[in-house]
Amino acid sequence: RLFLYLIPFLLSYTIPMSILTSALLVFGRLSGDNEIVAIKASGINIYRLSSPLILIGLLFSLLSIALNNDIIPNMHFESRKIVKNIGVKTPAAYLEPGTFIKSFKGYIIFIHEIDRNKLKGVRIYQPQDELSTRTIIAEKGEFITLDNQNAVKLKLINGTSDEPNPKNPTNFYKLNFKTYYLTLNVDESIASSGYTEKKPKEMTFQEIKNEIKKLGRYHVDTPSLVTEFHRKISISFASMVFIIIGIPLGIFTRRGEKTIQFAIALGVIVVYYLLMALSIALSLKGIWSPCFWMYLPNIIIGVIGIILLRKTIES
């Protein structure tokens, strides 16, 4: 069952890769057999030859949007629930990286990384009825298991706490700390229902919008949700972008150089996903807008593809 749930996730990567490799091989063959020269000599523009293929890439991109919005999030969530249900349920099991954790009474928690019991990039929000939301941010920390089966203690290291002023709730005063201990109690209604929090990548577009709106009421920062929303769209258009760059690269490499063509395909794929990983990291840090970073890899690869395509036509 776990393997079947992973198939849609693999498709989101294998479809663009297959399209890029196919474009390189097909146009490499056409170029090697001088078919490109014959096509140009007959007065057919390379743009006319490329347009149907770019349209096919667009259709695959639209298919990928549906895949990334509906199928993959559900499959990923179901597979994580299966893995989670295998282990013994403890309060610490509710601490998961990359998701807004609402399983503890009175707190909303976001943790960037968890390695065993070590935590990195901890944000804790405590909504209060009459006061503004209290915010605790720590560079790192660790969780300590308690004898109480419904509680876990957090040890936070090197952080700040924005405390609302009781006399004027709109004003805050900042407290810096080297070590801060916080005991979290599991919400019994959530524990008894077996509820599992969804990570941003396990949400649909509508669920992400609803979560951003809901957390916005408590003034909770949501860069991970905004980033994931745009990442789903951006990465879906990898198929079209790979077609655009694959056509001129295939013509340049020519027939009989399949090893080089596969190497070029691998190089483009590695560069694209490295750019995407870098863009995600910068987006999560809040450096400029996620809209800019998430679409930057597509813009870079697409512009390079258009430039190469123009050079191919001119030559």
Tens of pLDDT, residue by residue over 93-131, are: 667 787 888 878 888 888 888 887 788 888 888 887 766
R_g over Cα of the chain: 25
Asked if 90 contacts 79 with a C-beta cutoff of 8 angstroms, the reply is no
111 and 95 Cβ atoms separated by less than 8 Å: yes
pTM above 0.85, yes or no: no
Mean of the pLDDT values across residues 219-224? Answer: 83
**What's the pLDDT at 254?**
66
For residue 313, is pLDDT > 90?
A: no
Average confidence (pLDDT) over 63-76: 90
**Residues 283-297: tens digit of each pLDDT:** 888 778 888 899 999
Give the pLDDT confidence score for residue 257 in this predicted structure: 65
What are the tens digits of pLDDT across the range 20-31? 999 888 888 887
pLDDT(311) > 80: yes
Given a contact cutoff of 8 angstroms between Cβ atoms, the answer to whether 264 and 252 are in contact is no
Three-class HEC string of the chain: CHHHHHHHHHHHHHHHHHHHHHHHHHHHHHHHCCHHHHHHHCCCCHHHHHHHHHHHHHHHHHHHHHHHHHHHHHHHHHHHHHHHHHCCCCHHHHCCCCCEECCECCCEEEEEEEECCEEEEEEEEECCCCCCCEEEEEEEEEEEECCCCCEEEEEEEEEEEEEECCCCCCCEEEEEEEEEEEEEEECHHHHHHCCCCCCHHHCCHHHHHHHHHHHHCCCCCCHHHHHHHHHHHHHHCHHHHHHHHHHHHHHHHCCCCHHHHHHHHHHHHHHHHHHHHHHHHHHHCCCCCHHHHHHHHHHHHHHHHHHHHHHHHHC
- Residue 87's pLDDT band (boundaries 50, 70, 90)? very low
Mean pLDDT score across all residues of the chain: 83
Rounded to whole angstroms, the Cα distance separating 159 from 137 reads: 5
Name the β-bridge partners of 173. Answer: 163
Question: What average pLDDT does range 246-257 have in this prediction?
Answer: 78
Mean pLDDT confidence for 232-240: 94
**Per-residue pLDDT at 83:** 66
Which whole number is the average pLDDT over 243-247? 92
Highest mean predicted confidence (pLDDT) among 45-54, 59-68, 70-79, 255-264:
59-68
Q: Model confidence over 129-182: pLDDT tens digits?
A: 766 788 889 999 888 777 766 777 888 999 998 877 777 766 777 888 899 888
